[in-house]
Amino acid sequence: MQKWTKIPGGPVRIGFLVFDEFSNLCMANCLEPLRAANAVTHRHVFDWQIVTLDGLPVQTSSGIGIVPHGPLKSLTYCDYLFVHASYRHHEHDTNAARQALRRAAGQAAVTIGLDAGPWLLASAGLLNGRQATIHWDLLPAFSERFLEVDAVRARHLRDGPVITCAGALSALDVVLDLVSQHLGEAARLDVEDQFIKGDPRPDETPHHDPLVGRALALMRDHLERPLPLPDLARRCSCQPRTLDRHFRRGLGAPPGTVYRHLRLSNARKMLEGSGLGVAEVALRCGYESPAALSRAIRQRFGATPSELRKRTL
């Protein structure tokens, strides 16, 4: 069973090793959810550095110049080391790179290969005897080149202390999983809500549960006039007890708790990002009065609506 909320023990240290012509879309799908997680929790939970092998600037695949924080050797221990290569990965596969990757992976709790990054990890011997994936355009060549690796067509895979993922969308999946792991499902939903709109695909629902995915979509569509839970279950073609069981297993909280969380998260966004009054926000988030919303806001965030608004000034 998943945990609805978690209190992190300290900053999660992350290193991003980037190679010339890496995909900036893939990188954005990693960095932006981490930034959002820090923002929605008002905590500095995730701390990251961007490095290159030699500390020199590189360019993304679309020609954007990136100045790193330093060379790879400046990284000490980190919880996660992301290895990010995309185009020209063959040129980056040098003896110096392989040695540096082996040293760096030895100082990381988990090593993550993004896009063509798994190619460099495999060449360094870090995927021997493991299941791994890579950008699907490279998968046939990857399978033929690295016979010691069990190459699998998948969005992302974890085998021991190594995670490999196939590209930009799978990078978002991986980082959302990290948010859930360190902060709980409530924070993941808040971060997810900033990047994923509309009905999710079955493989994008929490823990691949289509029933939870349908219910969450209905909740988000009915924030102003919340559906009674029996009606929500009926629209999902199940009994309330079944819906409750799926939510507790997938998100670690009953449907009512999750529904309130979504409504209050929406209220906070309105208070912090618009000039709407408390009465209007209460109406749009399904609260019968400004006083009821204020009580709920104080209980959830430990602040009044006006104090929340001041945080963004």
Averaged over 196-202, what is the pLDDT?
A: 53
271 domain-assigned: yes
Averaged over 218-237, what is the pLDDT?
A: 95
Looking at residue 2, what is its pLDDT?
A: 81
Looking at residue 21, what is its pLDDT?
A: 96
DSSP string over 91-103: HH--HHHHHHHHH
**End residue of a domain, out of 111, 145, 178:** 178
**End residue of a domain, out of 114, 147, 178:** 178
Averaged over 150-179, what is the pLDDT?
A: 95
125 and 119 in contact (C-beta within 8 Å)? Answer: no
Looking at residue 72, what is its pLDDT?
A: 97
275 domain-assigned: yes
> Is the domain of 161 the same as that of 229?
no
Can you give the pTM of this predicted structure? 0.88
Model confidence over 100-126: pLDDT tens digits? 999 999 999 999 999 999 999 999 999
Percent of all residues in the chain with a pLDDT value above 90, rounded to a whole number: 82
> Is the domain of 163 the same as that of 259?
no
Question: What is the rounded average pLDDT for all residues in the chain?
Answer: 92
β-sheet bridge partners, residue 165? 114, 156
- Check the CA dihedral 196-200-203-208 and report its sign: positive
Percent of all residues in the chain with a pLDDT value above 70, rounded to a whole number: 95
Number of domains in the chain: 2
> Is the domain of 146 the same as that of 67?
yes
Model confidence over 246-298: pLDDT tens digits? 999 999 999 999 999 999 999 998 998 877 899 999 999 999 999 999 999 99
86 domain-assigned: yes
> Is the domain of 251 the same as that of 108?
no
Looking at residue 24, what is its pLDDT?
A: 92
CATH number at residue 236: 1.10.10.60
> Is the domain of 101 the same as that of 144?
yes
Tell whether the model's pLDDT for residue 206 goes beyond 80.
Answer: no
Residue 27 pLDDT grade (very low, low, confident, very high; cuts 50, 70, 90): very high
Tell whether the model's pLDDT for residue 218 goes beyond 70.
Answer: yes
250 domain-assigned: yes
User: H helices of 146-253, where?
Assistant: 168-183, 185-195, 210-221, 229-235, 240-251
Residue 199 pLDDT grade (very low, low, confident, very high; cuts 50, 70, 90): low
> Is the domain of 146 the same as that of 205?
no
> Is the domain of 171 the same as that of 225?
no
Looking at residue 202, what is its pLDDT?
A: 47
7 domain-assigned: no
**End residue of a domain, out of 112, 145, 178:** 178
Model confidence over 59-104: pLDDT tens digits? 999 999 999 999 999 998 999 999 999 999 999 999 999 999 999 9
194 domain-assigned: no
> Is the domain of 250 the same as that of 119?
no
Closest Cα partner for 87 from 114, 110, 66? 114
**What residues contact 262, with CB distance under 8 A and at least 6 apart?**
189, 193, 216, 219, 220, 223
CATH number at residue 89: 3.40.50.880
Tell whether the model's pLDDT for residue 313 goes beyond 70.
Answer: no
Tell whether the model's pLDDT for residue 204 goes beyond 60.
Answer: no
195 domain-assigned: no
Residue-range definition of the domain harbouring residue 234: 200-313
Looking at residue 272, what is its pLDDT?
A: 86
> Is the domain of 205 the same as that of 106?
no
CA dist., res. 119 & res. 133, Å (int): 9
CA angle 238, 241, 242 (to 5 degrees): 45
- Give the C-alpha distances (Å, rounded to integers) separating 203 from 191, 277, 299: 18, 38, 34
CA dist., res. 133 & res. 30, Å (int): 18
> Is the domain of 118 the same as that of 237?
no
> Is the domain of 30 the same as that of 133?
yes
> Is the domain of 29 the same as that of 169?
yes
193 domain-assigned: no
Closest Cα partner for 167 from 134, 140, 192? 134
